[in-house]
Amino acid sequence: MASLIKPRDLRDLLSGGKALALLDVRDLGSYNSAHIPGASSLPRHRIEFDLRHLVPFKGVTLALCDDNGSQAGMAAVTAEAMGYENVYVLEGGVNLWAALDYPTEWGTNVASKDFGEQVEVENGVPEIDALELRRRMESKEKLVILDTRTPEEYRRFCIPGGRSVPNGELALHITDVLREHDEGATVIINCAGRTRSIIGARILQRMGVPNAYGLKNGTAGWVLAGYELETGAGRVALPAVSAEGLARAEEHAAQAAAEDGVRFLDVPALREVMGRGDSETVYLIDVRREEEHRGGHIPGFRWFPGGQAVQRSDDVAPVRNGVIVFACDGRVRAPLVASWYRQMGFPNVYAVDGGVTAWAEQGLPLEEGTQEDLPFGLSEAAGKASMISPQELEEARPPAIIFVGDSAEFAQGHVTGSHWAPRGWLELQIEGLAPSKDKPIAVTCANGLNSTLAGAALVDMGYEKVSVLDKGMAAWRRAGLPVERGLTNVMTPPNDVVVMGPHRSYADTIHYLRWEVALGEKRQPPD
C-alpha cells in the first residue's frame, strides 16, 4: 500500500539528487492553474496508458499528488497494480503544499517554455512582430515562412503562405528548403506562440543562416494584430536531403553536440545501456518523423518527434536524472535534440551514433509500427462487464448511461441522455448518477478503452448490471445512430481541458503571452 509523504519531505526530495518522478494526477485544467514546480501532468484516467512510458523503471521513487489526496490515493492503487514498488501520495495534496507557502507555478510544459525564453534573452535571437511581417508581405519582399509545429497543428491553422518544417527537421532540411525558394530570402520561423519560434530561430542563428527571424508571439500574435490565419494548408512535404544539405547539417550537429556535452553511443554501448532498464530509469526516444518510426525503429524506442521533445521535456522525461537516449537515422536530428536537453540541464543525455542505420548495419532487427496504446489491465477489465453492441444499447436504454471520456469528447458526441462522469472522478461521482447498484448502467467513451476500465471499476464497486458499449462512440456513429452534442446535463463548467491556440479568448491569449515573456524578463541582467 502506498505511503503518505509530507510536503516538507517531498520538497527535500525535489531539491536533492535522488531519482524521483513527481506526477500530478489531476485533470489538465487544474494542473494548468497551479502545480508544484517539477511535477509532470498525468491525469488519473491516463495512468494505465502512459505511466509505463513516463516512468519506465518501476523501482524509482514515484510521488503522486492532486488537490487533497483523494484522486492520488486511487491512482496509487493502479500504479502498484502495474508493479511500481515505491509509490507515495502527497499528504494534503497541492492544497496543503500551497497552505505551507511552498512554491507553485501555472501553465503547461513550463520547464521548456522557461528554457525557450532563456534562449532568446541569452542569445539575442532576432525576431519581428506580426505588423512588420504583414508589411513585408504587402511589399512583396522575398519571404520563406516556416511553421515549426507538428504537421497536424499546421494543417489546422497557419500564417498565410507558411510551410510546415517541424523544428526537429529544420537543421536537416533548411539548405534544401531555401534552395527550393530563394537562398537570399528572409526566413520567418513561427509556431502558435513563442517557444518553438525561438528555438527554430536559434537553430538557424547557430547555423549561420542569414536574415532569419522568429515571429514574435507566432500565430497568436498574428491574430491579435487583426489578421486572418490560413486553414487546411497542405504544404507539408519536405525536400529530399542533398549531399550539401546533409554535410552542412552534420557539421552543425557535431559542433553543437561537442559544445553542449552530448555523448554518443555506438551499437554495443547502446545495447549495454538498454540492458540497464531493469535497474535504473532509461528513456529511449526516436526523434524522427512518425512515418519513419513506423517503417522501422530500434526495438524499445518510443516515438517522440524532435521538435516536440524539446517543447515538452516534462512529458518525455519526468525523471530528470535518468538516462535519456535519442536516436534518428544518422548524425543530425538525435544529436541536436540531445544538445538541447544538455542545455536544459539534463545530466545523462546520449545520441545513438548512426542511429537506426548503424543498428541495422550490425544485422540487428528493427521493429515496425508503433507501440500499442492499449492500457494496462484491459484484458482483465473486459471480462468483468458485459460488452454490448450499439444496437443492443439503443434497444435496452438502461436508466443510467454515462460517458467517461473527457469533456471535449463528450461535447463532440454522446448517446442521447448520457451523463458525463469522467473516469478520473468516477468512484467519487457515480453514486449521484446511479444510486441503485442493482439497476442496469451502461458505460461509454470515444473508443471503448476508458469505458472498459470504468466498467470493471463499477463491477468492483458492487454494481450488478454493468454493460460497456463495444468500441465506444466510434461504433455508435458507424451504426448510424443518433448522436447528442454539447455539454448536456453538465451543471459545472469542466476543468479537464486546457484551451489553446486560436480557441483562447483574446484576453486569455494576451495573458498567456505576457506570462511567457515574463519568464524571459526574469533572466534580463540588471541595469
pLDDT band at 497 (very low <50, low <70, confident <90, very high): confident
The residue count for the chain: 527
The backbone torsions φ and ψ at residue 231, rounded to the nearest 5 degrees and listed phi first, read -120, 150
Q: Which pLDDT value is given to residue 239?
A: 96
Contacts of 220 (CB under 8 A, 6+ apart): 192, 193, 501, 502, 504, 509, 512, 513
Mean pLDDT of 276-296: 97
Q: Residue 444 burial by CB count (10 A; 0-12/13-18/19+): exposed, middle or buried?
A: buried
Q: Which of 186, 185, 188, 210 is nearest to 200 (CA)?
A: 188
474, 383 Cβ separation under 8 angstroms: no
Residue 17 confidence (pLDDT) = 77
Cα dihedral 83, 15, 199, 26, rounded to 10, equals: 50
Confidence check: pLDDT of 341 > 60: yes
Inter-CA distances, 137 with 156, 210, 223, Å: 22, 18, 16
What is the spatial distance between Cα 190 and Cα 126, in angstroms, rounded to a whole number? 12
Q: Which domains does the chain have, with CATH numbers?
A: 3-106 (3.40.250.10), 113-238 (3.40.250.10), 253-361 (3.40.250.10), 379-478 (3.40.250.10)
The dihedral through the CA atoms of 103, 106, 112, 115 has a sign that is negative
Burial class from Cβ neighbours inside 10 Å (0-12, 13-18, 19+) for residue 265 reads buried
Candidates 437, 439, 409, 421; CA nearest to 489 is 421
160-215 pLDDT tens trace: 999 999 999 999 999 999 999 887 899 999 999 999 999 999 999 999 999 999 99
CB 305 within 8 A of CB 154: no
Instruction: Report the pLDDT averaged over residues 275-294.
Output: 97
Distance, CA of 212 to CA of 440 (rounded, Å) = 63
What's the rounded Cα separation, in Å, for the pair 280 and 150? 31
In 8-54, DSSP assigns E strands to: 20-24, 40-41
Query: What element of type H or E holds 143?
Result: strand 143-147
Q: What's the confidence (pLDDT) of residue 373? A: 74
The mean pLDDT of 134-148, rounded to a whole number, is 97
Report which of 249, 240, 247 is spatially closest to residue 203, judged by C-alpha positions: 249
pLDDT tens across 16-37, in order? 878 999 999 999 999 999 999 9
Cell numbers for 122, please give them: 541569452
> For a pLDDT cut of 70, what percent of the chain falls above it?
98
- Give the type of residue at 432: G
Cα–Cα dist 21/274, whole Å: 20
Dihedral sign of CA atoms 10, 11, 14, 17 in order: negative
pTM confidence score: 0.95
From start to end of 276-371, where are the E strands?
282-286, 302-303, 323-327, 349-352
What would the pLDDT profile of 350-406 be if each residue is shown by its tens digit?
999 999 999 999 999 999 987 667 999 999 999 999 999 999 999 999 999 999 999
Phi, psi of 265 (to 5 degrees): -115, 125
* Res. 486: pLDDT tops 90: yes
